[in-house]
Amino acid sequence: MIVMKEGATRDQVDAVVERVESVGAAAHVSQGEVLTVVGAIGDRERIANLDLAGAPGVDRVVPISKPYKLASKQFKHGASTIVEVDGCKVGGTNFAMIAGPCTVESREQLLSTADAVKAGGASMLRGGAYKPRTSPYSFQGLGDEGLRLLREAKEMTGLPIVTELMDARDLEPVLEVADVIQVGARNMQNYSLLAEIGRSGRPVLLKRGLAAQVEELLMASEYVLKEGNDQVMLCERGIRTFETATRFTLDIMAIPVIKELSHLPVVVDPSHAAGRRDLVLPLSLAAAAAGADGIIVEVHHDPDAAICDGPQAVPADRFGDYVEQVRRVSELVGKEISRPEFA
């Protein structure tokens, strides 16, 4: 990591980038409010031999010891990355409330849920068109028709859309609708998919794998960042433990732990962790209190009729109260719920 001096010129930064690239390394420039940092990724020795510490405009050269580089806290000098989607911010003092059905099931289901989450204070609308189901015999999502309905919901509400991409072959149609591409837990280590999404430049919600360590999650994010896309949110959604009382165990500690290691925002999914709607509120409050930058929660206008994940869905008519309670806790830790420009 090459830290430029305060007031270093554009030419000086460009010269550093050129020298880094001259030894076959990649240069990632991060322009902070005060400081510019050039991340050099390549052969450590060849980069060291450039002796960039003495180059014009360079303040110092700091080796990053962690295996993840661009995701590391050091890379941004302690500053937080703020992901911005249609004026809705995630990270820093901004808290995002992403809500909607697990799966797009029908026009009526999606539009009525979308209306309710907008009225209740959501920042973005979630909904899967392509679903990673444990059983190949379960409903796999509406696919293209689901994307079309999501577009309609976006036009109707103005809420940005978060939807999952499972297969790189669907990237193009998903890019037409998704303001944020969700990478599901089961695809966290699908590295070619991550690189493809990185190249698209679209904001990403990267879910932690069911049995992935924090470091593995950060390494996965590195695949997106490496392609020049720093609009990445990391999502804790519960992990496998020996405990069987709940579907997964929400790793609340992962929030402060990731924040200590990385500048990327952390979003929590209480729905999939718990698998039960009565646990969604307490887990959400705990997540907000622990410093999460947002929540992604499943909401359904008629949970009993849901095709997928009904037992964990917050009923749409209770969503406003739920948001209000989470808002109070997020305020206590100095965060404000950020909503898109219409709000």
Q: Are 140 and 45 in contact (CB under 8 A)?
A: no
Complex with ligand PEP: residue 164 or 293, whichever CB lies closer: 164
Does the footprint of Mn ion cover residue 102 (CB under 5 A)?
yes
Neighbours of 103 (CB within 10 A): 25
Which of residues 65 and 134 has its CB atom nearest to ligand PEP in the complex? 134
Instruction: Please say whether the dihedral angle defined by the alpha carbons of residues 235, 332, 274 and 160, taken in this order, is positive or negative.
Output: negative
Question: What is the spatial distance between Cα 189 and Cα 215, in angstroms, rounded to a whole number?
Answer: 12
Distances (CA, A) of 111 to 70, 247, 274: 38, 29, 26
CA dist list (Å): 167 to 161, 194, 206, 296: 18, 10, 14, 22
Q: Any idea which residue has 């405990």 for tokens?
A: 243
Give yes or no for residue 340 binding ligand PEP (CB under 6 A): no
Q: Is 150 in the site for ligand PEP (CB under 6 A)?
A: no
- Give the 3-state secondary structure of residue 127: coil
What are residue 152's DSSP bridge partners?
none
* Cβ 252 to ligand PEP shortest distance, Å: 16
Which among 318, 343, 293, 321 has a CA at the least distance from the CA of 97? 293
Of 154, 202, 207, 339, which one interacts with ligand PEP (CB under 6 A)? 207
> Quick check: 132 binds ligand PEP (CB under 6 A)?
yes
User: Per CB under 5 A, does 235 bind Mn ion?
Assistant: no
What letter would DSSP give residue 172? H
Residue 132 binds which entry of Mn ion, ligand PEP, none, CB below 5-8 Å type-dependent: ligand PEP
* Position with the least CB separation from ligand PEP: 184
58-61 vs 2-4, strand pairing mode = antiparallel
- Of 39, 100, 184, 265, which lies in the binding site for ligand PEP, with binding defined by CB under 6 A? 184
Work out which of 38, 180, 185, 329 binds ligand PEP, going by CB under 6 A.
185
Q: Please tell me whether residue 101 binds ligand PEP under the rule CB under 6 A.
A: no
Kindly state whether residue 162 participates in binding Mn ion, applying the rule CB under 5 A: no
115: tokens are 């209306």
Closest distance of CB 264 from ligand PEP, Å: 17
Is residue 128 near ligand PEP by the rule CB under 6 A? yes
- Selected binder of ligand PEP within 76, 237, 259, 300 (CB under 6 A): 237
Residues that bind Mn ion (CB under 5 A): 102, 309
**Binding residues for ligand PEP, per CB under 6 A?**
102, 128, 132, 184-186, 207, 237, 269, 272
